[in-house]
Amino acid sequence: MKRALLALWLLLSWVSIAQAQVPDAVSTPIGPSASSQNVEITLISERAAVQPGDVFHLAIRQKIASEWHTYWRNPGDSGEPTYLTWTLPDGVKAGEIKWPAPAAIPFGPLVNYGFSNSVVLPVEVEVPASAKPGTTLLLKVDATWLECADVCIPGEGSVALTLPVEATKRDSGDASAIQAALSSLPKPLPGKAHLTDLGAGGLQLVVTGVPADRKAYFFPHELKLGALVDFAAPQEFVRGKDGFGLNLVKSKSLPDPFVGPFEGVLVIGEGRDAKAYSLSADLIAAAPLVAVAGSKPAGGGDVGLLQALLFAFLGGLILNLMPCVFPILSMKALGLLEASHGDKAEARTHGLWYGFGVLACFLGLAGLLIGLKAAGMAVGWGFQLQSPAIIVGLAVLMVLIGFNLLGFYEIGTSLQGAGAGLAGKSGHAGSFFTGVLAVVVAAPCTAPFMGVALGFAATQPPIGALSVFAALGVGFAAPFVALTFMPGLMRALPRPGPWMSRLREALSFPMFATAIWLIWVSSAQVGQAGVLAALGGVLFAALAVWIWRTWQGKAGRALALVILISGLVGAGAYVTQAPAKAAEAASSAFGGEPWTPARVEALQQEGKTVFVNFTADWCVTCKVNEVTVFADPEVRDALNGDKAVYLVADWTSRDDVIAKALASHGRVGVPLYLVYKPGVAEPKILPQLLNAEMVKAALN
């Protein structure tokens, strides 16, 4: 019996192996659809039946996977457009692709031109007059394209349609989709355009006879040799008396001398209200367009470097008085009291190390901000607080500092080193990291003058931007550093004594309050996951502190550090995987509708006054304004929806649309308050620190 079963098993195995060697029959008839890994193409027709001499449109419709894109006729810095190769019956002719307006797609330091989600590419087709009714036309096209996200993959497919020839033409069910694509194609420019050479690598595209309001973008057609512009360079909008201009940066590959005409697509506006025009511009010898008042972004674009540096310094000084800095101010004050009646030279050294820490942190944040922007990310001041993992880490850090101030554990003996837990050192390292921590905690606040200075920095090359951030750091560090160099004031401070221990313990409670606030911010970003992650991190921190206290020696302290790091890494990983919580307009002081650019335009067309509050739950300045100014009954009555509408742009979590809107008004952070009046295109920008009278006056 066993031998029979073995023989049967061998027979079945041989049959399966033999069958595996025989290829399956392949049947791949060409149909109207084909697909690659991330793009599906479909050949659609405007006609269900054609007639002799008919002229109609076929179209390739690309359905593109999320986060992937294909390319326009000029792909920009990299990429390849879609190419079509037709196989048609005798006498049938197909034209070139009629390209819709593309979108600019940042990719690291590059900018490409292309399409996301879906696009319809129409092609005009001519049927010969000799075509005979009763016959059919087989229309086949081989398509190739490049599909890209973080990587690029070549795509290709062959699609075909068979259309009957009849005495009378008939439209198909796809006719409306093709007509919609044709109607959205760039229209001829109703005005005039020309290019002016600005020298030093600059060009200005001047457009007259076409209204525009700060929002325009030029997509040049490809050139046989080189490229016209640097695709990744910003296109600065300039409004003149008779039109507007776009300041462009010449491509390094542009031949010299170069001659026109240069063609391309000009997109004015954004979103559904954007209008696309095809244009041809000759290079002429003419004076550049002179900007008139209001042509630059308000609150930053009309500021020079010296003024921006002054504003940054003043903003840094005032930042010391903002509520978000109070917990760290207490640590600074405690350290200063300890040093005030000791070695004056050592006190000055601690002050300088604190200043170095402030400067290092400001410049580090500036460098990271510049790098993220160069990578194509829309970020601004406070961007680090849009990360739930960083929020959770800061909450745990505040709890650890609170435990330290209560005396649960000591790292070093210097009170000035209370912030030195970051490095596990006292003395000068403690002073340095206290400065670093002060800047990190100050990020939720934006002091007066800061918004203008940071808005200017966002438009400058790296050297200019770093200079502004350095001035901000100097202003922030100046009061504490200057005090250590003033012996008279130092002697006037109270003498150290036992009362300082009680003060130190009392100052732990602002740290715990800050931790509670940060946990609340994390809940606004990712819901209950943020609370669970933060409390879990606090639990691990408490366990680490207990082991540090009770288990003496290197082994115990090493274990405490392992537990602390494990808790932080685990909490950060957990909260990073949690889905972002949808922004709720009601999270602000009261009511309010969610902000969108389209909603602002719709309300303006209705003749409404619009108040826009750009805010975030981690922005302390925003919250102070909301619980004071926006809680005022008269302000609430003024924003009741009858005469004025209140819109909330919640930037608690990262939102590229809000970031770009902030940048368009010369800001890189919140708060920002805009008041749009009926019939006035430009909004009024209110100060970052509000009062009720100021808001009521702006609304009236």
**Digit-coded pLDDT (tens) for 527-539:** 788 788 888 888 9
Of 545, 577, 609, which closes a domain? 577
Q: What's residue 334's pLDDT?
A: 63
Distance CA 112, CA 134 (A): 47
| 418: confidence class by pLDDT, cuts 50, 70, 90 | very low
Tokens, residue 406: 């209560």
133 and 218 assigned to the same domain: no
- Bridge partners of residue 688, in order along the sequence: none
234 plus 128 within the same structural domain = no
Name the pTM for this structure: 0.48
- Does 522 share its domain with 648? no
Of all residues in the chain, what percent carry a pLDDT higher than 90? 24
User: In angstroms, rounded to a whole number, what is the distance separating the alpha carbons of residues 442 and 329?
Assistant: 10
Q: What total of structural domains would you count in the chain?
A: 4
Give me the residue label for tokens 């702006």: 698
User: What distances in angstroms separate CA 297 from CA 125, 404, 662, 682, one per listed residue?
Assistant: 47, 47, 10, 10
Q: Is 371 found in the same domain as 240?
A: no
Among the three residues 132, 167, 183, which one is the final residue of a domain in this structure?
A: 183
β-strand 170-171 against 243-249: which pairing, if any? unpaired
Q: Are residues 499 and 352 in the same domain?
A: yes
Q: What is the pLDDT at residue 18?
A: 36
Lowest mean pLDDT among 229-238, 304-313, 403-412: 403-412
Q: Which of 73-77, 136-140, 301-305, 540-544 has the lowest mean pLDDT?
A: 301-305
Tell me whether residue 496 is in a domain: yes
Average pLDDT over residues 76-104: 94
Q: What is the pLDDT of residue 38?
A: 92
Cα gap 43→137, rounded to integer Å: 14
Structure confidence at residue 311 (pLDDT): 85
CATH of the domain at 275: 2.60.40
**Looking up tokens 């690029």, which residue turns up?**
152
Residue range(s) defining the domain that contains residue 55: 33-183
Answer whether 656's CB lies under 8 Å from 482's CB: no
Residues 275 and 316 in one domain: no
Residues 146, 267 within the same domain: no
CB 121 within 8 A of CB 59: yes
Question: Which pLDDT tens digit goes with each residue over 557-599?
Answer: 888 888 888 888 888 887 777 766 655 444 444 567 888 888 8
Omega into 122 within 30° of 0, i.e. cis?
no
Confidence category of residue 1, pLDDT binned at 50, 70, 90: very low
pLDDT at 26 exceeding the cut of 50: no
Longest dimension (CA), the chain: 108
Q: Has residue 440 been placed in a domain?
A: yes
Q: Is residue 648 part of a domain?
A: yes
Closest to 146 (Cα-Cα) out of 72, 232, 56, 88: 72
Domain-embedded: residue 292: no
Q: For residue 338, is it within any domain?
A: yes
Give the pLDDT of residue 17: 37
Let me know whether 42 and 68 are in one domain: yes
For residue 650, is pLDDT > 60? Answer: yes
Read off the pLDDT band of 41 (50, 70, 90): very high
Q: Is the pLDDT of residue 459 over 80?
A: no
Positive or negative, the CA dihedral 523, 529, 530, 531 is positive
Mean residue pLDDT of the chain comes to 79
Residue 364, pLDDT score: 85
What mean pLDDT is predicted for residues 530-552?
Answer: 86
Residue 581 amino acid letter: K
The more confidently predicted of residues 471 and 688 is 471
- Written as six digits, the tokens of 102 are 């593309």
Same domain, 517 and 609: no
Q: What is the pLDDT of residue 380?
A: 62
Judge if 424 and 533 occupy the same domain.
yes
Most confident range, picked from 30-34, 62-66, 470-474, 632-636: 62-66
- Tell which wins on pLDDT, 493 or 308: 308
Residue 291 lies in a domain: no
Amino acid letter for position 625: N
Confidence of residue 337 (pLDDT cuts 50, 70, 90): low
Residue-level pLDDT at 588? 44
Q: What is the pLDDT of residue 319?
A: 80
Question: Would you say 135 and 128 are in contact if contact means Cβ atoms under 8 Å apart?
Answer: no
Q: Which of 233, 253, 283 is the last residue of a domain?
A: 283
Q: Judge if 192 and 239 occupy the same domain.
A: yes
Do residues 71 and 145 share a domain? yes
Residue 524 domain-assigned (yes or no): yes
Cα 561 to Cα 408: distance, rounded to the nearest angstrom: 16
464, 335 contact by CB (below 8 A): no
Rg (CA), the chain: 33
| 237 within domain boundaries | yes
Average of pLDDT values for 392-417? 71
